[in-house]
Structure 1
Amino acid sequence: MGEHIETDLLVIGGGSGGLSVAAGASQMGADVVLLEGHKMGGDCLNYGCVPSKALLASARHAHAMTAGAPFGIAPHDPLIDYAGAKGHVKSVIAKIAPHDSVERFESLGVRVITDYGSFISRNTVDAGGTRISARRIVIATGSRPFVPPIPGLEGVTCHTNETIFDLQERPDHLIIIGGGPIGLEMAQAHVRLGSRVTVLEWAAALGKDDPELAAIVLESFRTEGVAIVEGAQAERVTGADGEITVHTKGGGTHTGSHLLMAVGRTPNIERLNLDKAGVAHDGRGISVDKRLRTSNRQVYAIGDTVAGGLQFTHVANYHAGIVIRQALFGLPARATAHHIPWATYTDPELAQVGLTEAQARQKHGIHLEVLRFEYGQNDRALAEGKTRGLIKVMVHRGRPVGASIVGAQAGELIQTWALAISSKLKVGAVANMVAPYPTLGEINKRAAGQYYVPRLFENDRVKRFVRFIQRW
């Protein structure tokens, strides 16, 4: 018989959400055990957010060398070391890894077991022969790339985000199946690092975002040489490594040297033996209520394991806080999604929080106002040649209910609207903000100010009142 541990809180999964729960709970006095059978830091550190942004940074430096003419800098072709760019990726991961390491969490008082867990009862998990019984259990096992069963795929090397960052030789022509954020970020990174790139998307590329704003991103991609083929459903794959052909519905063919699959994610729940714990689940993930409790009230699920949930690192961290408030303090806390922002880190960036224009019009009808402001009217954007961009703010009865931004630093600018929506601020709070000049942040203030244009500057009653007051 192996060791039997009894603990306050068992966290299954050492990705962003699980680490946040474990660190927070342990530092507030709970007895915590953490299970991780693969890499600490999970997908975000090792295969997702961190490496993708590092590779995009390398690509941005390469692109800058070709785009200096408007600034009086002679453009020239960069000498690209693709393996060196991947070295930058590895170095960034290595710098962040100690923060997510077994050693750091053990220093925080967390008992870390480097093995996978499987339920053997409603409150007990087996991990490599060690049994852990806990008052509360948090499932935070994340997700992995979904690879659809396309005929012929087994005969070629099919990269995913879990393998593309290990590739040391630059693809001559990268075929990407999937036109969502992951696929498009990798498309732009590779075209700027010297590869030819074709993106195949069965529906509309960036289909979850505002179509007007997504079109600006896609136009920029095509200008840089990325071939984006929409309505292209992959039916089969032929050829061999170095010359891979993807056949699409309707007879289209696309041939490249390498293949990257980026069509979605699937939850990592197969190993857990959830039926033993009485935890309801299906192919989409684990079913939870608004408090993130599963059908077994001792067990919570967070992050990518939650069926139908938003699959972002910051959502997993947000979920961690919801669980900690309940498991440690017994306080009721509910997870909502209306204030959750997201961003796609292409150039230009694309960001969203709350309702899109189409969603807001459907919900609020004639009571909706859409505020618009172009990057080209911002002095900092003009100075830096970053005028390709637009912000739209959806306002209902004076309060923002959504914001969509495309342009430079959209992922930074969206945070103002995330705060406004989560704090239920009126649009005037942003309009009255004093922003330093000249900054891109003024775009938010100017967009909010559009709310008052028809009310103050285009209102005849206001003008008559002002003229009357001036007589006195």
Structure 2
Amino acid sequence: MRKPKKFDRNIIVIGAGAAGLVSAYISAAVKAKVTLIESGNMGGDCLNTGCVPSKALIKCARVAHSARTASNFGVGLPEPKIDFPGVMRHVRESIQQIEPHDSVERYSDLGVEVIKGYARLVDPWTVDITLNSGGERSLRGRAIILATGAEPTVPPFPGLDTVNYLTSETLWDRFAQLDTAPHRLVLLGGGAIGCELAQAFTRLGSRVTLIERDERLLPQEDHEVSKTVSLALESEGVRLLTGHEAVSFSGSEDRREGILNLRNAEGETQVTFDEVILALGRRARTKGFGLEKLDLLQDGKLPTDAFLRTRYPHILAAGDLAGPFQFTHMAAHQAWYAAVNGLFGDIKKFAVDYSLVPWAIFIDPEVASVGLSEHEAKQRNIAYEVTRYNLDDLDRAIVDGAARGFIKVLTVPGKDKILGVSIVSENAAELIAEFVFAMKQGLGLNKILSTIHIYPTMTEANKFVAGNWKRAHAPKRLLRWLEVFHRWRRG
């Protein structure tokens, strides 16, 4: 396979999710000739089946919860009536209002050629496209960015084909047909998606059972975070079954009811459901793009180097396909490196910076993390100190009825350098930003402490945790000397 002497495009991007859209935008911004190919809806999973619809659903659920708890603030309201079709309408309308940001028209105006069709690599430089409108096209790209995303993991459970199981992608169409929230809902998987949906549907009227194979929810998070989340979910009526492994499924003849068989250390048990959602993680979408033909895959995965290059340096990957973090903001972050390395990598290339990757789980209270957790620090044998601040001491949290949760900061022993932060709090995803900025700029807790924070706000918690660190590291010998000095001055 010889490298062509001429190319149709400087860069071809396959996939119009977060990584593909940003890659195409950056390439066009530096005046490269770029083509973006997408067979499905523009915006990818995030817009159509992930971040946007799930957060719209969570908002509806929070409104219902606020109505139920209004009496805590001296406002008596009746039990909210859940108009489930109205909830799903809000979800659809949220997507529709955001769609123009990711539309063919917008990216065409930005200078990107957008082709709707199925792309397939036929050699390292050539992409064949089966057009949605019919017909074929073929383009040669000097560089190619693979941004094909990921799809829900569906293990081959015995009997799974006897029930109408759902995933984070398929639940939206199914639930748009319902008059009420599902009565008995099972969520298999206690990660971020499972926890978010469990709380949301409980607040919308479902009896939810959340099942996790590990002994705790959110097994990748700090232990204290997991415990706090479990207590919050249980307090709202979510039935938690941790340490339970799914064994098999069985469904009724009309598929209106199903049974999930579980196993734990004490034996076997069953859970009956009307709807079941598999929230067992996501795997890179690799099939159907010609990757096997070019021997780009290893054990079903697409390996890349620090510059996001595959075994062919001009073929790069970004987003969920590349990993290791499956976040929309990480996909956009990687997209810059993929575009720049694809266009200019033979002149100068840039290794992706993974040093600070924040993430959040949008339950109530929210969970947000960046850097090392205490669990990770112990596993990696990294020395650390812990400083914490409990939200039940924060004025704004008290008046807002949000006085639960905490901020936990890991620092280098004896120093204010931040190694990691875990927050469980209302608006934790917003609070974490100050710590991300401080860590990125090499600023420690002393700098946060010396920054004026508006009173009364939730962000004061960031300053107060820094104050706790300062008090724990006060110079005791100097303070004793000052005590003597002041006593002498009093005469």
Aligning the two structures, in what range does the TM-score lie when normalised by the shorter sequence? Answer: over 0.9
Q: Which residue does 1:416 correspond to in 2?
A: 434
Of the candidates 303, 312, 327, which is equivalent to residue 287 of structure 1? Answer: 303
Of the candidates 134, 139, 145, which is equivalent to residue 141 of structure 2? Answer: 134
Of the candidates 267, 271, 281, which is equivalent to residue 284 of structure 2? Answer: 267
1:392 Cα deviation from its structure 2 partner? 0.4
1:207 Cα deviation from its structure 2 partner? 0.8
CA 1:222/1:352 → structure 2, altered by over 3 Å: closer, same or farther? same
**Letter paired with 1:15:** G
Question: Residues 338 and 355 of structure 1 are in contact (CA less than 8 Å); yes or no, is this contact kept in structure 2?
Answer: no
1:403 has 2:421 as partner: yes
Q: Which residue does 2:326 correspond to in 1?
A: 311
1:229 has 2:241 as partner: yes
Q: Number of aligned residue pairs: give it.
A: 465
1:449 Cα deviation from its structure 2 partner? 1.9
**Distance in 2 (alpha carbons) for counterparts of 1:390 and 1:55:** 26
Q: Which residue does 1:256 correspond to in 2?
A: 273
Partner SS, residue 292 of structure 2: helix
1:102 Cα deviation from its structure 2 partner? 1.0
Q: Which residue does 1:425 correspond to in 2?
A: 443
**Distance in 2 (alpha carbons) for counterparts of 1:463 and 1:455:** 14
Q: Which residue does 1:158 correspond to in 2?
A: 165
Q: Which residue does 2:464 correspond to in 1?
A: 446
1:280 Cα deviation from its structure 2 partner? 3.7
**Distance in 2 (alpha carbons) for counterparts of 1:51 and 1:405:** 24
Question: Residues 360 and 402 of structure 1 are in contact (CA less than 8 Å); yes or no, is this contact kept in structure 2?
Answer: no
Partner SS, residue 79 of structure 1: coil
1:196 has 2:207 as partner: yes
Of the candidates 393, 411, 429, which is equivalent to residue 377 of structure 1? Answer: 393
Out of 399-408 and 417-426, give the one that drifted further: 417-426
1:471 Cα deviation from its structure 2 partner? 4.9
Question: Residues 194 and 210 of structure 2 are in contact (CA less than 8 Å); yes or no, is this contact kept in structure 1?
Answer: yes
Question: Residues 174 and 256 of structure 1 are in contact (CA less than 8 Å); yes or no, is this contact kept in structure 2?
Answer: yes
Superposed counterparts of 1:8-407, under 5 Å: 8-128=10-130, 129-166=136-173, 167-168=175-176, 169=178, 170-203=181-214, 204-240=216-252, 241-249=255-263, 250-283=267-300, 285-307=301-323, 309-330=324-345, 331-363=348-380, 365=382, 367-396=383-412, 397-407=415-425
**Letter paired with 1:279:** L
**Letter paired with 2:341:** Q
1:242 Cα deviation from its structure 2 partner? 2.6
Partner SS, residue 61 of structure 2: helix
Question: Residues 56 and 91 of structure 2 are in contact (CA less than 8 Å); yes or no, is this contact kept in structure 1?
Answer: yes
**Distance in 1 (alpha carbons) for counterparts of 2:401 and 2:303:** 47
Question: Residues 315 and 342 of structure 2 are in contact (CA less than 8 Å); yes or no, is this contact kept in structure 1?
Answer: no
Question: Residues 306 and 352 of structure 2 are in contact (CA less than 8 Å); yes or no, is this contact kept in structure 1?
Answer: yes
- After TM superposition, the score normalised by the length of structure 2 is 0.91
1:189 Cα deviation from its structure 2 partner? 0.9
**Letter paired with 1:318:** H
Q: Which residue does 2:3 correspond to in 1?
A: none
CA 1:469/1:234 → structure 2, altered by over 3 Å: closer, same or farther? same
**Distance in 2 (alpha carbons) for counterparts of 1:201 and 1:76:** 34
**Distance in 2 (alpha carbons) for counterparts of 1:43 and 1:467:** 66
Give CA-to-partner distance per residue, 1:233-285, whole Å, 9 cap, x none: 111111233321100123110001111110011111101111333424333x3
**Distance in 1 (alpha carbons) for counterparts of 2:393 and 2:284:** 44
**Distance in 1 (alpha carbons) for counterparts of 2:192 and 2:47:** 17
Partner SS, residue 125 of structure 1: strand
Give CA-to-partner distance per residue, 1:36-73, whole Å, 9 cap, x none: 01111000000000000000000000111110222111
1:422 Cα deviation from its structure 2 partner? 2.1
**Distance in 2 (alpha carbons) for counterparts of 1:413 and 1:28:** 34
**Distance in 1 (alpha carbons) for counterparts of 2:443 and 2:162:** 55
Partner SS, residue 144 of structure 2: strand
Partner SS, residue 440 of structure 1: coil
> Which 5+ residue runs of structure 1 have no aligned equivalent?
none
Q: CA RMSD in A?
A: 1.7
Partner SS, residue 115 of structure 1: strand
Partner SS, residue 271 of structure 1: coil
> Which 5+ residue runs of structure 2 have no aligned equivalent?
1-5, 131-135
